[in-house]
Amino acid sequence: MLLLLLTPCLAVNLASPATKVGRPLGSRTDFPILHQEVWDGRPLVYLDSAATSQKPSSVIDAMRSHLERDNANVHRGAHLLAARSTESYEGARTALAEFVNANSRDEIVFTRGATEAINLVAQSWGAANLCEGDEVILTVMEHHSNLVPWQQLAAQRGVVLKFARLNASECLDLPHLTSLVSNRTKLISVAHVSNMLGCVAPVKEIVAAARGVGALVMLDACQSLPHMPVDVQALGVDFIAASGHKMLGPTGIGFLWGKHSILCEMPPWQGGGEMIDQVSLFSSTYMPPPARFEAGTPAITEAIGLAAAVRYLSDIGMEKVQAHEERLSTYLYSRMSELPELRLYGPDPRLGHPRAALCSFTSNQVHATDLATFLDQDGVAIRSGHHCTQPLHTELGLAASARASLYIYNTEEDVDALIASLRSTLDMFAELDS
């Protein structure tokens, strides 16, 4: 058995029963999947929302209604079903534009997810604008989706990649990042919120550093957009990439938001139907954004489901979502700090550091995968592995970690169930080792 020998965090619990918020936002009854028993009648405690969120009935119903009533291909169809399908699909674009406060609905490009959105920027804007020796600044904590596309572009065009490190609090080391900026810097692309450390990027300062040399800024917003207000105009960035399935929507859909002036200058990435203006045997002209970047039949039903998810979140209010999760984040970190066998990663929210309602951890007794397996037997669903952040795990000297992540349908009672299962599992392994 592989044991990860790490310094445990101090056992401190600042939460008290009087401060508990026992009710989820919205209604837990809105999420059918949560009302089931697993493994010999144990109630499901779902703590893996950073990997994918569960879906409310309104999202499921919107997708079913479209398939049962309006299913037809979008654009150019003259019949009623095509018109209704197009109206719903383009209405989804409008809903997303309003959700992120875009200047125009034409700034929303539907993609298969955040991965495709980042690849689109790398292979369209990057390939058109970056030359040998130009620099892209990333961080050591990036998801593979915000690493591999830039590695591929670097191999193709000789682009130089630079990586900002972590500070002592396991947040982005902003002074180090700003020290990397030079006159050759063309883009800074960072996770808005780390999917392993939970830390929040100082976007205002990053944008200021980029603007000083005329560089653009892109945010991987997969772990921020579902959990806090994201106003692209207020942030001042140039692109954000988002994934629908992490924000109550279906899989296979996401979007790129980009400033319209920049999108208009970007060449198409993929060719085919939908994105063309005129085609002859030897040449083609292309539609303006966003159609230019949406080759082929789109994920129509999934876009409609994502719009329903955005409406569900908007009905709650993203300020309320953020406040709920900030309380859960502190409670989660505090309760987990009671277990001295665990090493917690990322900033301590009790010290005023903003962080997401997720916690990655390792044990000095039990491998992360063993922990996740035994917790599953208690009905507690967490994730283990490298969370698509292998370079970050290497930076921290880890092969793997476990991660519990919460969302609007979770309560502090769910955290208590996690702690009880962890305590039982750790005690069992301690007895086996004694």
Catalytic member of 171, 222, 359, 388: 388
Q: How far apart are CA 271 and CA 110, in angstroms?
A: 15
Q: How far apart are CA 355 and CA 319, in angstroms?
A: 15
CB of 244 closer than 8 Å to CB of 253: yes
Radius of gyration over alpha carbons of the chain, in Å? 22
SS3 313: helix
Q: How far apart are CA 336 and CA 406, in angstroms?
A: 14
Q: How far apart are CA 241 and CA 191, in angstroms?
A: 10
Q: How far apart are CA 192 and CA 110, in angstroms?
A: 20
Residue 388 annotated among the catalytic residues of the structure? yes
Q: Which residues contact 425 (CB under 8 A, 6 or more apart)?
A: 366, 371, 374, 375, 378
Residue 127: C-alpha distances to residues 225, 286, 394 (Å): 27, 18, 29
CB of 263 closer than 8 Å to CB of 290: yes
Tokens (6 digits) for 431:
């007895």
CB of 165 closer than 8 Å to CB of 140: yes
* Nearest alpha carbon to residue 399 among 365, 364, 362, 370: 362
Q: What is the DSSP letter of 70?
A: I
- Is the backbone peptide bond immediately before 354 cis, with ω within 30 degrees of 0? no
Q: How far apart are CA 81 and CA 79, in angstroms?
A: 6
SS3 393: helix
Q: Which residues belong to the active site?
A: 388
